[in-house]
Amino acid sequence: MKNYIKADEWNIIEEGFDPHLNKISESIFSLGNGRMGQRANFEETYSGETLLGNYVAGVYYPDKTRVGWWKNGYPEYFAKVLNAANWIGIEVKIDHELLDLAKAEVKDFKRVLNMHEGYLERSFTAVLANGKSVAVKSTRFCSIANDEVGAIRYSITPLNFDAEIGLMPFIDGDVKNQDSNYDEKFWDKVSDEIIGNEAYLQLRTKKTAFEVCTGSTIEVYQGAENLNLKFEPVYRDKFVGLSTMVTAKANTEITIIKLAANLSSENHPKESLLQETKAVIANAAAKGFDTLLQEQAAAWAHKWEESDIVIEGDVSAQQAIRFNIYQLFQTYTGKDDRLNIGPKGFTGEKYGGSTYWDTEAYCVPFYLATAPQEVSKNLLIYRHKQLGKAIENAAKLGFKDGAALYPMVTMNGEECHNEWEITFEEIHRNGAIAFAIFNYIRYTGDEDYLIQYGLEVLIGIARFWKQRVNWSNDKQQYVMLGVTGPNEYENNVNNNWYTNILATWCMKYATEAAEIVKTKANAEYDSLLKSLNFKDQEFADWADIIAKMYYPADAEQGIFLQQDGYLDKEQVLVKDLPASERPINQKWSWDRILRSCFIKQADVLQGLYFFEEDYDLETLRRNFDFYEPRTVHESSLSPCVHSILAAKLNDEARAYEFYLRTARLDLDDYNNDTEDGLHITSMAGTWMSVVEGFAGMRVRDGKLQFNPFLPGKWKSFAFTIGFRGATLKVNITEHGINIKNNNDVDLEIGIKGQIYKLAGNAEIGVSNPELV
Ligand code: BGC
């Protein structure tokens, strides 16, 4: 755990330069706009420890699988979002010496991520080996107003000497992924071109043949005066640079404006990619850096209006929640239904930038409440588009008749994961995808979604579960063998409670959804079922499984069992594990982990969270009291679920304690892994802990309901959510809850079990001593 980020409500601040923290900061200060993103690398040369990272959404490489022992059904490749051309580079030489913070004495270093306006700032003074000192300031952003544009303002002031400053802004495509399986580089050059102060590099990915054209234009100023410098073109392998020399008087600031564009063949025809990049550059140049920055600030202001959480009385909690929200919006803006959310977003290479069940289970609730409806809808449509591949994927494993198994890890719908216990067994992901459809409709009321997209997906998923269970003669019940639950600390288990309950729930929901579509759109219903070759007998088969499914439980303790035989394990508690043995995934052999009773992440409790209405509070309490002490939370997705359940059980102290474990997970490098990238998907879980946990927000019977409490340390907290056309500001203080409706949509709202009318543009306040 580190503690070097300065607390501030709207900014992430690092003061002083510690090269040992650089890779962590490169993750924390990452920038993105949903279409492209990058780690917070330096513009100037840095020969110290760094993980260079620039990424373009949707542009991936199918890196050939590397496994020790091949198993039939393994995917051929692991898709990776590629390290793409680095457009931020500006080589700087001061009197012929390279500016390199690994080699200079660095003073007054400060890095600030301004979350309110969406840019990164850095300033420092460097004393070079030649004894010369320069002060440097840079401001950089990836525009969300125009998500193909990035901009840098980079200023250098020679302190007390006249300097010859050599400048070479460049675009470098000769980059590689650190996680490349065979040390391959993934890009080929298509073209490079330098004209005047503009440089363009068009690259093509090997195998996948995506093309990305990166362009930049440079202006150099002294004060407000454009020096109109001439540049020497520099061409190298997949590299274009613009070299120039400028003489700067002592204490005079020289400013380089570098505007860049990244266009991909996902959005433009390959033949015109270069021309269109030039047009984007021309447009950005016509606006200029200041206007682009103003547009950026305005676009972020709009996002914050829809999504901010304000915490009074705890600056570090305030900073943390805004950081989580900010990073989620930098990763996904929901404009494109071909894109999704990698667990590390654009902040690192781990998890390949691919899509996991994290999206449906954790991110969808966040976007439902904080962004226009299309955003979460697009996340759902992404899976609808990949249904054909999910059916192919299931067929590869021996399933038939339109059964769909969505991949555990994917870029284009094909499975990329190649550990058998996850690829073949961690099938609960299929249920999360169905649950997200349910969740979306519960929140938005958009039942029409089922007609066009949802039912087809639900039928594919239900068909899979039907074939995946089998009848046990012994038990005279249906069972599900050989699975891995969310708890990856045990594999190939029989009857994982969570997976079993999810499977029958999917079949129930598919049946209900079919009924809804049949009633609402009979003709579409008939034609869909015909196209799927669906027989009514399938409903009957599902009903039989729903009625006769086996769920492992321990009657004596009144708990559901993680899986068959779980109680045969030696029952020890996490609190009895010496600190030196944790995290167990780093300290123990895998064999020992598998045999232990320790649970990696919410599993039975994940099911009780999804389906809470089916269980009474006592059942929840017994299971929580049993499983929580056995859960090591070695996935960042885990504590938020425990936080929400603890809140439901009125255990406010623990709800807060679990919340803290993810809220500043990356800012404080809690798990010593922030240098790999940020835990983007669990950031949505932090949001859930506040809104679903502390505020107790649910949607029931088409109405928003709140059951709030105020964490002891906080004076108040307030959040904004969108719900069925209304924008609500919910404020919770020691005096009670106040909800302001900022649109003219009338709503009914439940507070602590009582329903209130909330007219359009009105507000209600309920004071309640229990909230304190
Ligand atoms: C978790 C999975 C999750 C993945 C990506 C793993 O550590 O166990 O549930 O999908 O990380 O976040």
As a whole number, mean pLDDT of residues 668-690 equals 95
Contact of 497 with 561, CB cutoff 8 Å: yes
The residue written with tokens 């505007």 in the block is 259
Question: How close is the Cα of 416 to the center of ligand 1, in Å?
Answer: 14
For residue 532, the 8-state DSSP code is T
Q: Which atom of ligand 1 approaches the CA of 635 most closely?
A: 7
Give the bridge partners for 353, in sequence order: none
- Rounded to the nearest 10°, the torsion over CA 175, 177, 181, 186 is -50
Please tell me the distance from the alpha carbon of residue 457 to that of residue 463, in angstroms, as a whole number: 10
Say yes or no to pLDDT of 671 above 90: no
Strands 60-64 and 5-6, by their bridges, are unpaired
Q: What is the phi/psi pair of residue 179, to 5°?
A: -95, 15
Name the nearest CA neighbour of 286 among 318, 323, 251, 259. 259
Name the nearest CA neighbour of 486 among 363, 662, 358, 659. 358
Question: How close is the Cα of 643 to the center of ligand 1, in Å?
Answer: 18
Q: Which atom of ligand 1 approaches the CA of 682 most closely?
A: 12
86 lines ligand 1 (CB under 6 A): no
601 lines ligand 1 (CB under 6 A): yes
Say yes or no to pLDDT of 769 above 60: no
For the chain, give the percent of residues with pLDDT over 90: 96
Please, what is the average pLDDT of the chain? 97
Closest CA to ligand 1's atom 12: 343
What region, left, alpha or beta, does residue 724 occupy, with left being phi > 0 and alpha being psi -120 to 50 degrees? left
Classify 23 as helix, strand or coil.
Answer: helix
Question: How close is the Cα of 578 to the center of ligand 1, in Å?
Answer: 25
Name the nearest CA neighbour of 169 among 239, 237, 89, 247. 89
486 lines ligand 1 (CB under 6 A): yes
354 lines ligand 1 (CB under 6 A): no
Amino acid present at 285: A
Amino acid present at 530: K
Question: How close is the Cα of 582 to the center of ligand 1, in Å?
Answer: 18
Closest CA to ligand 1's atom 6: 635
356 lines ligand 1 (CB under 6 A): yes
pLDDT at 314: 95
What region, left, alpha or beta, does residue 2 occupy, with left being phi > 0 and alpha being psi -120 to 50 degrees? beta
pLDDT at 621: 98
As a whole number, mean pLDDT of residues 695-706 equals 97
CA distances to 357, 608, 663, 699, 733 from 685, in Å: 13, 16, 9, 17, 23
As a whole number, mean pLDDT of residues 31-45 equals 98
Say yes or no to pLDDT of 662 above 80: yes
pLDDT at 772: 42
Closest CA to ligand 1's atom 8: 635
Give the bridge partners for 726, in sequence order: 723
Please tell me the distance from the alpha carbon of residue 687 to that of residue 309, in angstroms, as a whole number: 9
Contact of 13 with 123, CB cutoff 8 Å: no
214 lines ligand 1 (CB under 6 A): no
The tokens for 338 are 């071909």
As a whole number, mean pLDDT of residues 547-567 equals 98
Question: How close is the Cα of 750 to the center of ligand 1, in Å?
Answer: 34
Please report, in range form, the residues annotated as the binding site. 357-358, 600-601
User: Which run of H or E residues covers position 471?
Assistant: strand 470-472
- The terminus-to-terminus CA distance of the chain in angstroms comes to 32
Question: How close is the Cα of 635 to the center of ligand 1, in Å?
Answer: 6
Please tell me the distance from the alpha carbon of residue 636 to that of residue 619, in angstroms, as a whole number: 25
Q: What is the phi/psi pair of residue 30, to 5°?
A: -55, 155
343 lines ligand 1 (CB under 6 A): yes
- Span 286-324, pLDDT tens digits: 999 999 999 999 999 999 999 999 999 999 999 999 999
351 lines ligand 1 (CB under 6 A): yes
pLDDT at 770: 62
Question: How close is the Cα of 351 to the center of ligand 1, in Å?
Answer: 9
Residue ranges with strand state E in 527-644: 553-554, 559-560
Question: How close is the Cα of 356 to the center of ligand 1, in Å?
Answer: 8
Please tell me the distance from the alpha carbon of residue 624 to that of residue 646, in angstroms, as a whole number: 8
Residue 512 annotated as catalytic: no
Please report, in range form, the residues annotated as the binding site for substrate. 357-358, 600-601
pLDDT at 2: 85
Question: How close is the Cα of 507 to the center of ligand 1, in Å?
Answer: 25
What region, left, alpha or beta, does residue 196 occupy, with left being phi > 0 and alpha being psi -120 to 50 degrees? left
Strand order in the sheet with 31-32: 31-32, 36-38, 54-56
- Span 82-92, pLDDT tens digits: 999 999 999 99
Q: Which atom of ligand 1 approaches the CA of 600 most closely?
A: 8
Strands 60-64 and 149-159, by their bridges, are unpaired
pLDDT at 771: 54
Question: How close is the Cα of 485 to the center of ligand 1, in Å?
Answer: 11
Q: Give Cβ neighbours of residue 286 (< 8 Å, ≥ 6 apart).
A: none
Please tell me the distance from the alpha carbon of residue 644 to that of residue 724, in angstroms, as a whole number: 24
Mutating to test ligand 1, I would choose from 423, 425, 427, 635 the residue with most ligand atoms within 8 A of its C-beta, which is: 635
- Span 423-440, pLDDT tens digits: 999 999 999 999 999 999
Neighbours of 554 (CB within 10 A): 13
As a whole number, mean pLDDT of residues 462-473 equals 98
The residue written with tokens 């009074």 in the block is 312
The residue written with tokens 């870029």 in the block is 411
362 lines ligand 1 (CB under 6 A): no
Residue ranges with strand state E in 53-142: 54-56, 60-64, 77-81, 90-94, 97-98, 105-114, 119-127, 133-142
Contact of 434 with 510, CB cutoff 8 Å: yes
Residue 418 pLDDT class (50, 70, 90 cuts): confident
Q: Which atom of ligand 1 approaches the CA of 357 most closely?
A: 10
User: Which run of H or E residues covers position 257?
Assistant: strand 254-264
If you count them, how many residues does the chain have?
772
Say yes or no to pLDDT of 112 above 50: yes
Q: What's the pTM?
A: 0.97
- The CATH code of domain 11-307 reads 2.70.98.40
| Residue 568, CA atoms < 13 Å, CB-side half-sphere | 5
603 lines ligand 1 (CB under 6 A): no
Amino acid present at 515: E
Closest CA to ligand 1's atom 3: 358
CA distances to 319, 330, 374, 605, 766 from 302, in Å: 19, 14, 16, 36, 29
342 lines ligand 1 (CB under 6 A): no
User: Which run of H or E residues covers position 723?
Assistant: strand 716-723
Strand order in the sheet with 163-172: 97-98, 90-94, 163-172, 239-248, 232-236
358 lines ligand 1 (CB under 6 A): yes
- Span 397-406, pLDDT tens digits: 999 999 999 9
Mutating to test ligand 1, I would choose from 341, 355, 358 the residue with most ligand atoms within 8 A of its C-beta, which is: 358
Mutating to test ligand 1, I would choose from 340, 347, 355, 356 the residue with most ligand atoms within 8 A of its C-beta, which is: 356
Strands 239-248 and 163-172, by their bridges, are antiparallel
Closest CA to ligand 1's atom 5: 343
484 lines ligand 1 (CB under 6 A): no
Contact of 212 with 117, CB cutoff 8 Å: no
**What is the secondary structure of 111-128 as a DSSP string?**
EEEETTTTEEEEEEEEE-
- Span 496-513, pLDDT tens digits: 999 999 999 999 999 999
198 lines ligand 1 (CB under 6 A): no
As a whole number, mean pLDDT of residues 16-30 equals 98
Please tell me the distance from the alpha carbon of residue 386 to that of residue 380, in angstroms, as a whole number: 10
Catalytic residue, candidates 276, 488, 538, 628 = 488
- Rounded to the nearest 10°, the torsion over CA 228, 234, 240, 245 is -40
Name the nearest CA neighbour of 243 among 138, 92, 98, 126. 92
Q: Which atom of ligand 1 approaches the CA of 351 most closely?
A: 5
498 lines ligand 1 (CB under 6 A): no
Q: Which atom of ligand 1 approaches the CA of 601 most closely?
A: 8
Please tell me the distance from the alpha carbon of residue 325 to that of residue 356, in angstroms, as a whole number: 19
Question: How close is the Cα of 634 to the center of ligand 1, in Å?
Answer: 9
Contact of 120 with 30, CB cutoff 8 Å: no
Please tell me the distance from the alpha carbon of residue 674 to that of residue 171, in angstroms, as a whole number: 27
Neighbours of 616 (CB within 10 A): 9
- Span 725-757, pLDDT tens digits: 999 999 999 999 999 999 999 999 999 999 999
Helix axes 455-468, 373-385, angle to 10 degrees: 50
CA distances to 470, 547, 550 from 544, in Å: 12, 5, 12
637 lines ligand 1 (CB under 6 A): yes
Amino acid present at 554: D
For residue 361, the 8-state DSSP code is I
Name the nearest CA neighbour of 687 among 188, 272, 421, 327. 327
| Cis omega (within 30 of 0) for bond into 169 | no
Q: Which atom of ligand 1 approaches the CA of 408 most closely?
A: 10
Q: What is the CA radius of gyration of the chain?
A: 27
Please tell me the distance from the alpha carbon of residue 266 to that of residue 59, in angstroms, as a whole number: 8
Say yes or no to pLDDT of 284 above 50: yes
